Structure 1
Amino acid sequence: MISILNKPHPFIFNKFSVLVPSAITFLLILLLAPSYFQNLEPIERGVAAFFTTLLVGLCIRLSVPLLKKLLPTAMNEDDWTIGKEILLILSVVCIMIIAISVLLFVLRDNEETVVALVFKTASLTIGISIFPIIITVLFEQYHHQKLQVKKATSLTTYLATENKKLRATTRISSQPGEKLLIKSDNQNIELRLDPNDLIFMKSDGNYMEVYYHDMDDIKTKLIRNTMKSITAVLPNTSFLRCHKSFIVNGNYIIKVEGNARNLELKLKGVATNIPVSRAKVKEVSKFLEGN
């Protein structure tokens, strides 16, 4: 179960994230008249369905951006999983329960206690939403996994063409003996490298992990500096920032892989794949396709 909850999942929030649940809510109330709505006349039920639907839409539209603002680390789209998606949906459902309970409290015509009203609203809301939630999560998982695999396959195929093979074997132009100087934040030179020996770099707080070739080995050096400062000295024709925490030497990319959440780059001689953030997918695609 834990492995399933930790599976990558796309973070999707657009107009359909609001419209689809709202439309389902309206139709269920209007046609099935669950619980409290059974006692209403058709016109009254339609009005109640409209305002309940409007409330549901507002809860979804406002709560997700608010949660992203309040919990930026937990809501990081590049680390999104099925478990986080379920927690987000349940959080929004709880907000909806509170909002609908307030609405029904205002509209009620009996002496039902607040606790009983909230309990009935929770049962009603969860009952209405549980199947659309399950179907939506499963559909998103399947659909985006399929799209990402297709995109990854397309880019990998392009990498395998004759032109891409030629580019992959072309070394970064440099004058004989010219070295790439990697400095710390106090401007001390930490590494002198042939640009072709620099494989990738990873940001780790105020430090950069530099992975490079030294003879036949791949070595790592931790340097205190920012991604922005080090990126400024790299040739942008060969080095690509594919993620907020990663810069890669494009000549080492041999394959693109994908899951439901994002793309990953496989580098020659490197065991761990390098993630591509959603914001960088187009940039990476253009880079690999030579545009």
Structure 2
Amino acid sequence: MRLGFLILSASHITRLCIFVGMAGAGIIKRVKKGLNDPIVENFSWKGSLMFSLQASIYIAFVLFIINHGMNQAQPLLMAALFALGSFFSLLPANWGMPKMLPATYDEERWTVGKHILHTLFVAFCITGLNQLLLGLAEYSLSPFWVMFAQIILMGALPITLGLLIIKRRRLKRNEANAQTANQQLDRLHQPQSVTEMPEVVSLRSQNGEESLNLLPNQLIYLESVDNQVEVHWLNMMFPQKTVLHNTLKELEVALNQHPQFLRCDQSFIVNLKAVDEVEGNVRGYQLTLSGSAREIPVSSSYLNAFDARIKQLS
């Protein structure tokens, strides 16, 4: 009887461990997906300046209300000093750091996880500078980590709401613009009379030893991979890939005389006449191409050029 109970208990424990393990794996997967979710960010001078001013005013207002309610001495002066420290912490962190570390602070590949780490770094900077300023002004200070936690709690709600609002607005705008682009693509894909043979596209490697000569409509897209470029093209109706040891920038110059080819991302040049569908997302567009299963991104910094070129060709 006791042995049966022990065996039953061991069986239940095993099942429980399996269930907890599966649930934990599912949670980790969802958290990882959430941390890799793309979000919009603006590290330009103007964007960083405006955000620093708005955040500093918000912090000063909240601190003034709190300190006034607690009958702290000179609440306005304390709030003003804290706002000053916050501004001169926020601006270097939001504008200077992206200039120093452009690969890390790539706006086109900014994610929730990166934003959380950056927010913690900014809160650390604000805490450090305000500890120094308020200490010099001889105010009684909370311990560093207490102030750090207070700043995070103070900024969590407005930062989250702001990001959600911006994300929603950008998604709606890009989806609407994508619909317009699809209408223009329909006109672009209509049969046109050909009066003369199109000029051949000639792509070469940097040393000139490798070359590829194609008709414009054969070329689907180019992708920069490491220190070379993968050229995806059609041989009759069959997709082909040719690797050229060159930079995407050099090949972009070679394609300049053909308006149907456009740089749409740091890593891609696409043949606009090969685009079947444009889909809007938070970061920009996603392109579906004929002759390829690969979806090509149009990043935010190339959206205006993409819209203008599609309009021009249609």
TM-score (norm 2): 0.80
Matched, 1:241 2:260: no
2:40 counterpart of 1:40: no
Q: Looking at both structures, which has the greater relative contact order when contacts are Cα pairs under 8 Å and sequence separation is at least 6?
A: 1
In 2, distance between residues paired with 1:189 and 1:251?
26
**CA–CA distance in structure 1, aligned partners of residues 231 and 65 of structure 2:** 61
Matched residue type, 2:130: I
Return the match for 1:124 from 141, 147, 150: 150
What CA distance in whole angstroms lies between the structure 2 residues aligned with 1:231 and 1:192?
15
Question: Any stretches of 5+ residues in structure 2 without a counterpart?
Answer: 1-30
* Among candidates 17, 20, 31, match of residue 65 of structure 2: 31
Q: Does the 8 Å contact 1:5/1:81 carry over to 2? A: yes
Q: Which residue of 1 aligns with 2:7?
A: none
Mapped to 2, the partners of 1:205 and 1:38 lie a distance apart of 59
| RMSD (Å), alpha carbons | 2.4
| 2:5 counterpart residue number | none
CA distance in 1, matches of 2:264, 2:87: 35
Gaps of 5+ in 1: none
CA distance in 2: counterparts of 1:33 and 1:172, whole angstroms: 76
Match of 2:305 among 272, 283, 290: 283
Q: By how many angstroms is 1:192 displaced?
A: 2.5
Q: How far is the alpha carbon of 1:21 from its aligned partner?
A: 1.4
Equivalent AA in structure 1 for residue 53 of structure 2: L
Q: Deviations over 1:44-84 (max 9, x none)?
A: 21111112112212211111122112322111111111222
Going from structure 1 to structure 2, the CA distance change for 1:11 and 1:109 (only over 3 Å counts) comes to closer
Which ranges of 4 or more aligned residues in structure 1 deviate by more than 4 Å? 169-174
In 2, distance between residues paired with 1:30 and 1:233? 60
Whichever of the two has the greater Rg, that structure is 2
1:191 — aligned with what?
A: 212
Q: Give the SS at the match of 1:232.
A: helix
Change (3 A) 1:209 1:171: farther
* 1:64-75 equivalence runs, <5 A: 64-75=94-105
Secondary structure class of the residue paired with 2:189: helix
The aligned residue for residue 147 of structure 1 is 173
Counterparts of 1:173 and 1:253, CA distance in 2 = 23
SS in 1 for 2:207: coil
How far 1:5 moved relative to its partner?
1.6
**How many residues are matched?**
278
| Amino acid in the other structure paired with 2:156 | I
